[in-house]
Structures are given as structure tokens and as C-alpha cells.
Structure 1
Amino acid sequence: MTCPPILVFDSGMGGLSVLAPIRAALPQAPVVYVADNAGFPYGSKSEAEIAARVPALLGRLTERYRPRLIVIACNTASTIALAHVRAALDVPVVGTVPAIKPAAEATETKVIGVLGTPATVRQAYVDNLAAEFASDCVVLRHGTPELAAMAEAKLRGEEVPAEDYAAVMAGLTGQPHGVDMDIVVLACTHFPLVEDELAAAARRPLRFVHGGQGIARRVAHLLRDADWTGCEPTGLAVFTLRDEKSAALVPALAVRGLDVDYL
């Protein structure tokens, strides 16, 4: 690449929900999207595994692609490994924060839900966000280990039964005060990819919020002085494992203007 790219990193395809608004905000920027499918899913891994894997992998990727900025487009990796990555790399790094603050500002019932991976929803980081920004709200949490894989299956063109989405939503709506919940924070970047299915499964009006637009604004701000003269807005998707599932995702990536390579 002739210009340093923006590198967007996730365990799988969830970061596409962050990549899209970044490309809309900075259409002239080359991008490299990295899916660590060899480690997918992060949500069921231990904190120690993620804290060791993510900085090491991003170190290799930085050497290979020399990015201008890195986005960790994964809530689980951000809540566990962001500080380690920033300490290890001399590159600006933007993390992904569950959108609890905007949800708390917008709720009318003062009951909000946080839907994430098990690894994310149990983090003290989420406790701190809730205490700082939603102290006047009831914050319901549900960790779903399977929804990220369901989103990946959708991108591969596979059918996912509606009742599977209903079971995920019931993890929130079935809790005490769940009937009063009016906003759900999608605290995994995979989840906006199946927002329509989640909304249908809820069977009542709910608002869903996530951090994609906020991350794009942050990236655009940090790169406001970047010179993109002569840059080609190329797009490359990189997998850490070559397998049948990654091959099945090539059409969905091509539609998004991303060529495919393997690390």
C-alpha cells in the first residue's frame, strides 16, 4: 500500500459494523480489516488468553501493514486488552466502549439492557460505565455466547432460526424489570449485523444503540490532520486462518469493497 492504512481489528466479522461508518467518514483512506478467526470467538475465552493474544497479534500486524491508526473493533478485546495494546505499540489505538452513556441519556423508562458476550458483560469496566453514566437506571445484562456466531452465519448466507434470536432476547426481557426496558446496548460489534432479527424477536418496540458512529467520529478527529493526497481508498480483509468458513465470507466482503488475504 502506498499510504499507511487504518487497521480495524476484530475476532471475526463484527468489526464490519464499525468499518462502515469509518469509511463513510474517511472515504479517501485505505483500510485493512483483520478478522482473527483462528481465535474466534473471543467472548468465551478467558481474560488471560485475550490479554496475551491480542497485543501479540496486533504487534505482528503493525509490523506487516504499518497502519496510521488501529481500531480494536471488539468490545471483549477492548475491555480486556486495550491498555496492554497501547502500552506495547507506538500507534494510536481506538477501542470500543459499550454505549451505556447514550443509552442512559435516551431512556425514558430508566431501564436499559446490555447485550454482550459473557466476557464483556462480566467486566468491571462495564460496572464502572454503569455507575458513572447510568446510576439512575436499572441496567440489565445478558451475556450470550452464541449470537456472534449467528451473525457470522448470516453473513455466510446461512439460515438462522428466528427462535434462536428470540432465546437471546429473552435473556434480557425475561429478567425482573425486563418488561420496562426500552433501550438495548449492543455491546458486541457483531450484534448490529443482526439488529433487525433481534428487533423482530423482541416483539415490542425497542431501541438498539451501539458505538459504531462514535468510533468513526473519534477516528476522524484523530486523523483530522492526515494527508491523504495520492492515496487509493483500497480495502483488504485479512484472516488469521484459511478455512471453509472464511472462504464462504468472501462474497459478503467483496460487496463491501474488500479483497481477501491471509496472515
Structure 2
Amino acid sequence: MTMSDARVEAPVLFFDSGVGGLSILAPARALLPQMPVVYAADRAGFPYGTKTEAEIAARVPALLGRLVERYRPRIAVIACNTASTIALKAVRAALDIPVVGTVPAIKPAALSSKTRVIGVLGTEATVRQPYVDRLAAEHGSDCTILRHGSAALVALAEAKLRGQPLDPEVARTALLGLIEQPGGEKMDSVVLACTHFPLVQPELEEAAKALNIRPLAFLHGGDGIARRIAYLNSDLPWPETPAPGIAVFTGSDPDIAALKPALATYGLMQINAL
């Protein structure tokens, strides 16, 4: 294989603490069906949302460095809001390939909100970040921005992909964490600021109906990231027939076998350990 061939075969690396980044992979594969994919889940460090900023800032750049050395991707996507809001700058400084981050979709929410009350539903670590403060100030200065962190909703998404029974109370409790704040009854938009949460958007929509509240628009950044990948890769062709996607897991996880059917639906046919 020539160097040119190797570049054409180079995958796009998607990285998350768990399976939430599949919500970012899905629109990217829809837009770019020839894209070779390596999807890395840091199960040994899961969940990121309950960890300290220092832990994530130390772990993510080092782990992505190992993944880039092993798989030689053309682009790396941090398909995790928590890791992006904390470690994106450090990762970009450490790697010599383009790095795309995932940040809360506050800008499109502010552009579309009629009531000017927006909810940001993420992990505990994400919703307290100064990065979110800056997004809110820059794009939603005339809006009331409500925030709520839910580790239980992350676990719900993981359980859904494993095919386990789901407790509807988890989604209901997560929405109430926003609605019960001052001004929450006027909220018309919810930013899903954790990549796990689009995976349980149907459950959140059902919970909103059960609570008998105003219609809510749920927003996340998957489509925009897909377009960004396409733009950054505009000078390099995709292979005519890409290899089956690879899922990489750190640590040992007894639930990986249960995830195989869901991973296959995203084109991830091979499972490796790191």
C-alpha cells in the first residue's frame, strides 16, 4: 500500500467515554457513507460526567494520543460534550490532525427559541463549565438559560443500547430538573448537551407529553459536526469500499457483548481492546 493509499484508507476517529458518541457518528455516516470509522469508548474511565476537571484534562489527551498513534486517523472527533468543554484545547495542541469538538447547541437554540427560555441538559461536569457560560453569554444573552446535570440519563442511554428495560421516571426526573427552576414553565427549547442524550430523545419526548407541558424542541450538534467532518476532509477522497467499522474499548466491560447488536447497526462490526 502506498502512502497515498494509506491516507485514503485512514479512518475518522470518534471518541467518547461510552456509547453516547454514536449519536454523533450516525449523522456523519448518513452524510458520508464511504467514511472509514474507528469508534473509541473509554469504558475504563466511564462516566466522565461525574469526574473532576483535572481527571478529564489529564486522561483525554493522553488516551487520544495513543489512539491516534495506533489507528492513524485523518480526523479525530471528540464525540463527548464533557471532554470537549474541558480538554479540546489541550487535545488540539497535542495532535497533528484536525480535531472536532462537540459543544452544547446553545446558538441554534437561541436562534429558534420564541419564549427566550432555554434548557441545557447535560452531565454535571458539562453544565458547570465556564465554556457553557461563554456560549450562553455570546449567543443567548437575552435568554434565560436553565441548566441541569443528569448522570441517570447517561445510564439510561447505555441501558437502551444494551436492550435492557427502561425506567420512564429517569427521563421525567431529568426534565423536571429544568422545568422546576424559576422560569422553567416558559422553556420551549432543550439543548441535549451530552451525546448520550439524543439516544433517549424519544423517551424525553414521551416524558414531556406526560408532564403536559408546552411543546419542547430538542437540539444537539450531530448534523453540524457531520458537515464539519466533510469540510475538513474536502481535499482527500474516501475509499470506494471502506473496511467495516471498528469499535475500541478501554478496560474490561461485561456489557460489551450486549452492545454488539447495537454497534452493528452503526456499522461497527469489529471490536478491539486498547
TM range (shorter): over 0.9
Contact 2:35–2:239, Cα closer than 8 Å, also in 1: no
Matched, 1:209 2:215: no
How many Å separate the matches in 2 of 1:213 and 1:41? 24
1:30-54 per-residue CA deviation (whole Å, 9 max, x = no partner) reads 1000011111100000000000000
Contact 1:182–1:207, Cα closer than 8 Å, also in 2: yes
Equivalence map 1:105-116=2 (5 Å): 105-116=111-122
| Partner AA of 1:18 in structure 2 | I
| Partner AA of 1:98 in structure 2 | P
Percent of aligned pairs with the same amino acid? 66
What is the match of residue 203 of structure 2? Answer: 197
How many Å separate the matches in 1 of 2:204 and 2:171? 6
Matched, 1:99 2:109: no
| Partner AA of 1:248 in structure 2 | A
Contact 1:27–1:233, Cα closer than 8 Å, also in 2: no
1:159-218 per-residue CA deviation (whole Å, 9 max, x = no partner) reads 121112111111001111111000000000000000010111122321100000011111
- Report SS of the residue matched to 1:226: coil
How many Å separate the matches in 2 of 1:229 and 1:144? 40
| Partner AA of 1:232 in structure 2 | P
Equivalence map 1:6-85=2 (5 Å): 6-85=12-91
Query: If the length of structure 1 is used for normalisation, what is the TM-score?
Result: 0.97
- Gap runs ≥5 in structure 1: none
1:54-110 per-residue CA deviation (whole Å, 9 max, x = no partner) reads 000001001100000000000000000001101111111000010000000000101
Query: If the length of structure 2 is used for normalisation, what is the TM-score?
Result: 0.93
What is the match of residue 259 of structure 2? Answer: 249
- Report SS of the residue matched to 2:118: strand
Matched, 1:218 2:224: no
State the Cα distance separating 1:26 from its structure 2 match. 1.4
Equivalence map 1:44-193=2 (5 Å): 44-193=50-199
- Report SS of the residue matched to 1:70: strand
- Report SS of the residue matched to 2:158: helix
How many Å separate the matches in 2 of 1:257 and 1:86? 27
How many Å separate the matches in 2 of 1:115 and 1:255? 26
Cα RMSD of the aligned pairs, angstroms, is: 1.2
1:101-149 per-residue CA deviation (whole Å, 9 max, x = no partner) reads 0000000101010000010000000000000000011110001122111
- Gap runs ≥5 in structure 2: none
How many Å separate the matches in 2 of 1:27 and 1:193? 20
State the Cα distance separating 1:29 from its structure 2 match. 1.4
Contact 1:28–1:233, Cα closer than 8 Å, also in 2: no
How many Å separate the matches in 2 of 1:103 and 1:233? 37
State the Cα distance separating 1:229 from its structure 2 match. 4.3
